[in-house]
Amino acid sequence: MDHLDRLESQSVYILREAFNQIDRLAMLWSLGKDSNVMVWLAKKAFFGHVPFPVMHIDTGKKFPEMYAFRAQYAHDWHLNLITDDCPPVEETDASLPPAARSAARKTLGLKNAIAKYGFNGIIAGIRRDEESVRAKERVFSPRGSEGSWDFRQQPPEFWDYFNTNLPAGTHLRVHPLLHWTEIDIWRYIRREQIPIVDLYFAKDGKRYRSLGDQDITSPVASTAATIDEIIAELEGTKTPERAGRAMDRETEDAFERLRAAGYM
């Protein structure tokens, strides 16, 4: 197997373990490149069918292209799609900086959805290379009853043994892309011809490397208008992937506070 085959095989194994071990499971679908790869891998893991709900926690502030993509591919991929709205920003922690506070709406929205539907496990498309706090995650990451995460209290995962024997009131976040990198994602998209939102491709000298809400996400300077050009650009850049995310430029601990509180 080549590198992409090994990544794919490990992710398929993680998804099957999650489905086997967790009785009420859902997958988050943010409509970005990583979560589209994750849905694609789930279809591969389960022979063309995603056997659990796919959930979009909606801030109402995504780009129109993202909503159009959701409508088309929820249909084309035969997904059991759940869409739940986020609470207003007034319900979030007022001590957070503005962009982080806006992003915190998704944390509250996810908590509400977990309680509403009774999910015991949530599959999320985070990667260790995205952000330093995410590098502390486990593949099967236990969360408190309110979604809280203590990175100092995580079970070891030796030899791909994932602990699902957890106390009552605990739920799990499952991260099948944790071992991937940004360039792995793009090389896999190219190989598999996975559909993506066209905002990732450069127009007028700019493109989006990471897609979030319109009001807290900005494009980066780029001329990469094809997947091959994006891969070539990434092979030579030192600019962080989340350079266009406003919350990542706020106070140093804002993202860690969000993650500890249950942010995706």
68/110 same-domain check: yes
Q: How does residue 27 score in pLDDT terms, banded at 50, 70 and 90?
A: very high
Q: What is the pLDDT of residues 184-210, one digit of tens each?
A: 999 999 999 999 999 999 999 999 998
Instruction: Give the Cα separation of 160 and 149 in Å (integer).
Output: 21
- Residue 187 in domain: no
Q: Could you tell me if residue 223 is inside a domain?
A: yes
- 24 and 73 share a domain? yes
User: How would you label 238-254 residue by residue, b for 16+ Cβ within 10 Å and e otherwise?
Assistant: eebbbebbbbbebeeeb
What is the rounded distance in angstroms from the CA atom of residue 213 to the CA atom of residue 195?
20
Strand partners, 171: 143
Average pLDDT of the residues of the chain: 85
Instruction: Report yes or no on 191 lying in a domain.
Output: no
Share of the chain residues as helix, strand and coil, in percent rounded to the nearest 5: 45, 10, 45
Q: Is residue 150 part of a domain?
A: yes
DSSP-derived letter for residue 163 is: -
Residues paired with residue 221 on neighbouring β-strands, in sequence order: 206
| Number of compact structural domains in the chain | 2
- My answer on whether 118 and 33 are in the same domain is yes
Beta strands across the sheet bearing 121-123: 81-85, 54-58, 25-28, 121-123, 171-174, 140-143
Domain assignment of residue 189, yes or no:
no
d(CA 102, CA 58): 12
CATH number at residue 255: 3.40.50.620
Q: What is the DSSP string of 201-229?
A: S-BTTEE-SS---GGGB--EE----SHHH
Residues 117 and 176 reside in one and the same domain = yes
Say which residue the tokens 């499971």 belong to: 25
User: Do 212 and 98 fall into the same domain?
Assistant: no
One domain, residues 46 and 165: yes
The larger pLDDT score, comparing residue 228 to residue 115, is at 228
Q: What pLDDT, on a 0 to 100 scale, did the predictor assign at position 244?
A: 53
The pLDDT value given to residue 93? 76
Residue of 234, 201, 232, 236 lying closest to 219 (CA atoms): 201
H/E/C letters for each residue in 71-105?
HHHHHHCCCCEEEEECCCHHHCCCCCCHHHHHHHH
Q: What is the pLDDT of residues 77-109, one digit of tens each?
A: 999 999 999 888 787 777 777 777 777 788 888
Tell me if 108 is assigned to some domain: yes
Task: Check pLDDT > 50 for residue 246.
Answer: yes
- Whole domain around residue 218: which residue ranges? 198-249
Residue percentage of the chain with pLDDT more than 90: 55
Quote the pLDDT of residue 90: 81
